[in-house]
Structure formats: structure tokens, C-alpha cells
Amino acid sequence: MYLTIDFGNTASKYALFTEEGILHSHGLYEDLSAFKAWDLKGCIFSTVRKEIPWLTGLDCPVHLFSSSMNLPINMGYNTPETLGTDRLAGVLGAKFLLTQWNSEIASLVIDAGTCITYDWLTDLGEYLGGSISPGLHMRYLALHQQTGRLPLVSHEVFENNVGKSTNESILCGVQQGVWGESHRQIAHFLEKYPNGAVFLTGGDALFLAEQQKTRIFVEPLLIHYGLLHALRYHETH
């Protein structure tokens, strides 16, 4: 079995894989005692935090995922040393799933979490880069913190085009901004790669998916599939 761990900005999660596929996934707390009962062949973890997370006591090789590993993609990013490992794992996850489906096509990976990232992988397996923008809750917080009187609103889906109160106006502006941004990113990608696949992951993935008119694959464990792909490739190359 393989253990993958993703230490995100606001939450951490692990996934346990067998040779047949994913066995279990859950939120992670800094108590690895339960993992010792499993017959682990290897562990790989990704982190976007400055501090390397506490990971000791596992009876298997433990790998820190990074762009310096031997990976099954070509790097077209100018500064791979600054590339967020969650972004890189996401495109690897898309490549892994497309390979399982016997499909070698380009992919756009949208990770809607603390930030919203858009990352491109060509049909030839070249990672081109992408873009980073504030996530939903970061936008709400910025409006509150960077102004004198705007309130901090709680997220709820607002489907009207006009807000009739300050709270509704904030919900309207933030959500239409995110929807418009994602629509433009997807349209630009599909213009370049008409047969390409669009993947959505992250805590706000379903919110974005409900507003899209194109076919989208929503995969909450996309980063973990990417980490698994990286670990298996590392073991054999």
C-alpha cells in the first residue's frame, strides 16, 4: 500500500492506495500511530507550508514531493523551484487519470482552494504553467480588511445579477468575478485544445462546477492521484 499526504494552506488530507486503487482518504491530524498498522510500501507528501511537517515513525521510505524529482512530464515553467507542489501534483493527477482512461490529451487543472490556480498540461506532457488568483474566501476577507465599512460576509450561493443589500452586493461581485474568471480560463484553454479535458479539485470545486457549461471532471483527490503517480514513477526510474 502507498500513503499520500497533502499539507495544504488551511487543511491536510491523506489517502491510502492499494494496487487496485484508492482504499481510504480522510482529513489528517498529526497522529500517525494508525498508519503503523498498515503494510506501507512507501509514503510521499506535499506541502505548501514553510515548515516541513512532522512525519516520523513510519516503517517505510518517506519522500518529500518536489519539482526536482524525476517526473513523467516535461517542465516548461521558468522557475520550477518556486512552483507550488499542489499545482504540480494536480497536473500529474490529471495525467495519471487520463492515462488510466487511455487518453493522451491536454488538460487544464483548476484547484479552487485558498487560492484558485489554473494549470496547463499539453497533450505531449509538457507543463506550461498557469495562473494564480485569490480564492472565494480570500476575496471576501480582502474586501472587509482593505475597506473601512464593508462587512465580512459568510459564503452562500447568490444567483441574482444584482445585489439589493451590501451583503448581497459583495456575494454578487465576488461570485460573478470567480465565475467570469473561470469561464474565460476554460474558454481560452478549449480554444487552444478543443478536445482537452478540464479537471476541478479543491474545497470550492463543486461551487465552480455548477456554473460551468462545458464538461468538467470533478475529482476531490486529484492531488493524491498525482502524488501516487510521482511516487510510482520515482520508484521505477
Q: Which domains does the chain have, with CATH numbers?
A: 2-135+174-236 (3.30.420.40)
Crossing angle (nearest 10°) for helices 136-145 and 166-192: 140
Q: Say what the pLDDT of residue 58 is.
A: 76
Q: Say what the pLDDT of residue 28 is.
A: 66
Distances (CA, A) of 58 to 3, 54, 151, 233: 10, 11, 46, 21
When pLDDT is averaged across residues 131-138 and rounded to a whole number, the result is: 97
**Confidence band of 36 (pLDDT split at 50, 70, 90):** confident
When pLDDT is averaged across residues 94-108 and rounded to a whole number, the result is: 93
Q: Say which residue the cell 519522500 belongs to.
A: 63
Q: Say which residue the cell 517526473 belongs to.
A: 71
Pick the catalytic residue: 31, 39, 59, 86? Answer: 86
Crossing angle (nearest 10°) for helices 222-236 and 85-100: 80
Choose between 30 and 125: higher pLDDT. Answer: 125
When pLDDT is averaged across residues 103-131 and rounded to a whole number, the result is: 96
User: In the numeric block, which cell numbers belong to residue 186?
Assistant: 476554460
Q: What percent of the chain has pLDDT over 70?
A: 94
Q: Is 86 a catalytic residue?
A: yes
Across all residues in the chain, what is the average pLDDT? 90
User: In the numeric block, which cell numbers belong to residue 106?
Assistant: 491536454
* DSSP type of residue 82: G
**Confidence band of 8 (pLDDT split at 50, 70, 90):** confident
Choose between 181 and 52: higher pLDDT. Answer: 181
Angstrom distance (rounded) from CA 34 to CA 54: 15
Out of 29-43, 71-85, 191-205, least confident range: 29-43
Choose between 156 and 36: higher pLDDT. Answer: 156
For the cut 80, the answer to whether the pLDDT of residue 24 exceeds it is no
Nearest to residue 173, comparing CAs of 214, 136, 147, 145? 136
